[in-house]
């Protein structure tokens, strides 16, 4: 499975040179070898997670706070499990039960979390740039678990790891991303990640859900899904948020399905054995048909979830190496 490009660890720069960043706020700006290093590090955790005893002690005694200002089930769970498997004490803070509801500003909340001496803070927020705003104010590493329409870096990393495992080298693959690109942080992070790793990326969306100036992102832009699928090795579907379906951006879910839904028939336009991905949760029958989503030979959707835990374990490990005094990192 390991290809030449992904390489073995000794090909990466040593110590913190392999990933010289304090936070993980986005994929934009990362070097290809930095992304590959994170993926390489994640592989050991994939193996651990498949054992019956899934415990590592690297983060023993460390406190990880998951501060989620926007509702999330799977990402929060994934980060919580990742932290716990690494031995950290994990605390979850939900917006619904936080003082945000009482009018406290984001900065005040950040300062409060900081005063509690977290060793890493994982943040999800509904507003683009909010995670960076907090990262600038706290003393520990910050992981972006999704901010507005900006970035969702661990999602792109878990997607890349999934693709690597199923397709080998990402360089040279053709990946089609389809859906609400305009509002999607998953799309942005994946565009950066995949183009940085040398994939050819095609992006497809209804014209009302395409962001401005997408042609400046080193991708091919389509509004016709059938055309966008031609020759694709990977088809990455995005979730269509319910609030976009009410006539403001698209006329109706059934029209969306007609034009942009991934059906078995449509998938035939892609390469043989093209891989189907979705960040979840899916709107079955809207952006993706069940028989495609549930086809174990074609769909990697469940594997994506599995890779998510491993990737997040790797990120927590790497970002805390400096504070843990790991040789070469402090």
- Catalog residues that contact other proteins under the rule CB under 8 A: 28, 105-107, 125, 127-130, 132-133, 147-151, 185, 188, 211-214, 216-217
The partner residues of 68 in beta bridges, in order of sequence, read: 94, 124
Would the CA dihedral through 256, 262, 264, 268 be positive or negative? positive
Least separation in angstroms between CB 178 and other proteins = 17
85 or 125: CB nearest other proteins? 125
3-state secondary structure of 151: strand
Question: Which among 225, 193, 190, 189 is positioned nearest to 207, based on CA atoms?
Answer: 225
Least separation in angstroms between CB 129 and other proteins = 3
3-state secondary structure of 122: strand
Least separation in angstroms between CB 132 and other proteins = 6
214 or 305: CB nearest other proteins? 214
Assess whether the previous peptide bond of 281 is cis (omega < 30° from 0). yes
Least separation in angstroms between CB 108 and other proteins = 10
Least separation in angstroms between CB 304 and other proteins = 22
Least separation in angstroms between CB 54 and other proteins = 34
What does the block give as tokens for 32? 């290809």
Q: Are 15 and 329 in contact (CB under 8 A)?
A: yes
123 backbone φψ class: left, alpha, beta (φ>0; ψ -120 to 50) = beta
108 or 291: CB nearest other proteins? 108
Question: Which among 290, 300, 241, 301 is positioned nearest to 261, based on CA atoms?
Answer: 290
78 or 132: CB nearest other proteins? 132
28 or 48: CB nearest other proteins? 28
H-state helical runs in the chain: 32-49, 74-85, 106-115, 130-135, 153-167, 185-196, 225-229, 253-260, 264-267, 290-293, 301-319, 321-324
The residue with tokens 């020759």 is 231
Q: Are 16 and 322 in contact (CB under 8 A)?
A: yes
Least separation in angstroms between CB 127 and other proteins = 4
Least separation in angstroms between CB 148 and other proteins = 5
Q: Are 43 and 98 in contact (CB under 8 A)?
A: no
CA–CA distance, 164 with 170 (Å, rounded to integer)? 6
């Amino acid at each position: 499975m390991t290809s030449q490009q992904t390489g073995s660890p000794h090909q990466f720069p040593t110590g913190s040179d392999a990933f010289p960043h304090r936070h993980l706020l986005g994929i934009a700006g990362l070097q290809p070898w930095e992304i590959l290093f994170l993926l390489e590090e994640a592989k050991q955790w994939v193996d651990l997670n498949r054992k019956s005893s899934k415990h590592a002690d690297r983060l023993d005694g460390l406190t990880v706070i998951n501060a989620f200002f926007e509702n999330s089930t799977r990402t929060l769970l994934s980060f919580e499990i990742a932290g716990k498997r690494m031995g950290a004490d994990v605390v979850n803070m939900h917006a619904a039960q936080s003082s945000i509801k009482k009018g406290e500003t984001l900065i005040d909340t950040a300062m409060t979390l900081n005063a509690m001496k977290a060793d890493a803070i994982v943040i999800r927020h509904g507003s683009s740039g909010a995670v960076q705003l907090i990262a600038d104010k706290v003393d520990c590493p910050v992981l972006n678990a999704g901010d507005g329409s900006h970035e969702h870096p661990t999602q792109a990393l878990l997607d890349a790891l999934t693709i690597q495992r199923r397709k080998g080298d990402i360089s040279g693959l053709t990946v089609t991303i389809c859906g609400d690109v305009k509002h999607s942080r998953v799309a942005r992070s994946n565009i950066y990640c995949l183009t940085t790793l040398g994939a050819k990326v095609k992006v497809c969306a209804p014209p009302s859900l395409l962001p401005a100036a997408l042609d400046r992102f080193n991708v091919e832009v389509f509004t016709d899904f059938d055309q966008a699928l031609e020759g694709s090795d990977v088809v990455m579907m995005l979730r269509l948020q319910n609030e976009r379906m009410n006539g403001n951006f698209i006329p109706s879910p059934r029209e969306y399905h007609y034009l942009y839904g991934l059906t078995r028939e449509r998938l035939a336009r892609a390469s043989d054995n093209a891989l189907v991905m979705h960040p979840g949760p899916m709107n079955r029958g809207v952006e993706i048909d069940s028989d495609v989503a549930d086809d174990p030979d074609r769909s990697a959707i469940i594997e994506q979830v599995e890779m998510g835990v491993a990737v997040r374990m790797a990120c927590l490990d790497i970002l805390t190496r400096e504070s843990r005094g790991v040789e070469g990192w402090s």
